[in-house]
Amino acid sequence: MRVLLSTYGSRGDVEPIVALAVQLQALGAEVRMCAPPDDEFIELLAREGVQLVPFDRPWRSWERPPTAEERGQRVTDFIAAQYETVAATAAGCDMIVATAMSQFVGPSVAEKLGIPYRYALFSPGVLDGLDGQGFNELFGEPINTHRASIDLRPVGDVGKFMFTARPLLAADPILGPWRASQSFDAMQTGAWILPDERPLPAELLTFLDAGEQPVYAGFGSMRTVCEDTARAAIGAIRAHDHRVLVGRGWAGLDLIDDQDDCFVIGEVNQQELFERVAAVVHHGGAGTTVTAARAGAPQVVVPQGGDQIYWAGRATELGIGAAHDGPAPTVQSLSAVLGTALSPQTRARATAVAAEIRIDGAKRAAELLLAGDAAERP
């Protein structure tokens, strides 16, 4: 069985697919993976022994998220950045599994080749559309314009075209439970978690061992997060008499002074790190949310948009953290929700939920795909 995995997005869109690739290969499948050629993704796939077929354009080259008026053109640009690579790499494959922005090209390539296509979701909230708009309205024109250019008929139901009627839901059933839908029947496997065995850097270990548990504040691949947010996070954490770990992230966040209660880190093993912090302040990406939940770390989610709003709500509903209202916190506003996260009640609840998080989602998905239970011809 030859499987093509295709993803075009940030770390949260790449790492879970690598987890699936590892499990597919362990079961004997031959895997090729199309992904952005950003340095950290090249390193990640090489470390895990997954064959990378890079797109020409790195994900970081997209300077900012599109405005509502720019969405149609951005979809056209995403299609242009991926289609030829996916079409060429899919030759000889028996199945395509796509996620993130590969939703715009994966199903058309599969239809051209007459092979099964599946889509993987990392959040059930993705199926709700965007800003109250449906998928036909959001993406119909650029998708059908491209399909006409490759001699395929237009699609009438863009949601079913991109996601299929039965997408794979790679989210933990405790954190992101599937709720019945008239349009989709998702197959929930659990989150696709890639085990990380890397040791923490020596300097970080020295900081961790030098005092009480710090609070981590980082916003992953959110490049629009500004210095004011870092300043607010550091101020709020200090207001609760905790030391601070700042995740540099794609926004390049840094310390605001030279006090020794703060330490800045780059890309590290968060699975191990989050077991050693008092709380995690983050943007609400699916991967960060499940990593913090597995570690039993209380969370403060400062959602920047998209499905991060969903994960902020879930952290609050489950009692494992608190959600900040809006993407731009002040010291006062963040301090208020951080107080909830640092309470003994939230810590106890986070510890209890951590024991219920399943870790076999990628293996289960790989078994389903290779057994044919998740295969669906376009």
- Count of C-beta atoms within a 10 Å radius of residue 156: 10
In the structure, what pLDDT confidence band is assigned to residue 258 with cuts at 50, 70 and 90? very high
Question: For 88-101, how does the pLDDT look when each residue is reduced to its tens digit (9 = 90+)?
Answer: 999 999 999 999 99
Nearby residues of 29 by Cβ (< 8 Å), 6 or more positions away: 1, 2, 3, 366, 370
CB distance 300 to 324 below 8 Å: yes
Question: For 266-309, how does the pLDDT look when each residue is reduced to its tens digit (9 = 90+)?
Answer: 999 999 999 999 999 999 999 999 999 999 999 999 999 889 99
| Residue of 282, 307, 24 whose CA lies nearest to 171 | 307
Q: Which residue has the tokens 């500004």?
A: 226
Domains of the chain in start order, with CATH, are 2-193+359-371 (3.40.50.2000), 202-354 (3.40.50.2000)
Q: What is the percent of the chain where pLDDT is above 70?
A: 97
- Count of C-beta atoms within a 10 Å radius of residue 62: 19
